[in-house]
Structure 1
Amino acid sequence: MTRSHGEATYFTVHRLRPHMSRSSEARVEPFPRVLTTDRLRLVAADTASVDPFELYEHCREGAPGIERVTRYLTWEPYGTVNEAFEFLDACESDFESGEAAHYAVFVGCEPEAGEFAGMAGLGVEWDRRLGTLGTWFREPFWGRGYSGERARALMRVAFDRLGLEAVAVTCHAENEKSRRAIRKYVDAAGGREEGLLRNHTRYPDGVADSYRFSVTREEWAANLGPGSGVTSSDTDGADGEG
Structure 2
Amino acid sequence: MHTLFPTCLETDRLIFERISHETVDPFELYAFVSRDDWQTDATEHMPWFRLQRLDQVAEFIDRAEQQWADRERARYLLRSNDEGGEIVGTTAYKPEWDARRAGSDIVLAPAYWGRKYGLERASAFVELTFERYDLEAFYTTCAADNEPSRRMIEKYVEKYGGRHEGLLRQHSPRPDGTVTDQHRFTIVRAEYEDVTTELETLDFDVEWEMPPPRGSSSE
Band of TM-score, shorter chain:
0.7 to 0.9
Structure 1 SS opposite 2:89: strand
Question: After superposition, where does 1:1-150 map in structure 2 within 5 Å?
Answer: 27-60=1-34, 63-66=35-38, 67-109=40-82, 112-150=83-121
Q: Which residues of structure 2 form unaligned runs of 5+?
A: 204-219
C-alpha displacement at 1:222, in angstroms?
A: 2.2
Counterpart selection for 1:192 from 119, 143, 163: 163
C-alpha displacement at 1:230, in angstroms?
A: 4.7
**Contact 1:173–1:211 under 8 Å retained in 2:** yes
C-alpha displacement at 1:220, in angstroms?
A: 1.7
Tell me what 1:208 maps to. 180
Structure 2 SS opposite 1:177: helix
Cα distance in 2 for residues equivalent to 1:232 and 1:33: 16
Amino acid at match of 2:198: S
Tell me what 2:129 maps to. 158
Cα displacement string for residues 30-83 of structure 1 (whole angstroms, at most 9, x for unaligned residues): 1111111111111211122221112112223xx221201111114152231111
More helix per residue:
2
**Contact 1:38–1:232 under 8 Å retained in 2:** no
**Contact 1:29–1:98 under 8 Å retained in 2:** no
Q: 4+ residue stretches of structure 1 with deviation over 4 A?
A: 230-233
Instruction: Tell me how many residue pairs correspond in the alignment.
Output: 201
With normalisation by structure 1, the TM-score equals 0.78
Cα distance in 1 for residues equivalent to 2:193 and 2:163: 15
Aligned CA RMSD, in angstroms, stands at 1.7
Cα distance in 2 for residues equivalent to 1:231 and 1:164: 16
Q: Which residues of structure 1 form unaligned runs of 5+?
A: 1-26, 234-242
**Contact 2:172–2:182 under 8 Å retained in 1:** yes
Q: Percent identity?
A: 37
**Contact 2:8–2:16 under 8 Å retained in 1:** yes
Cα distance in 1 for residues equivalent to 2:145 and 2:75: 25
With normalisation by structure 2, the TM-score equals 0.86
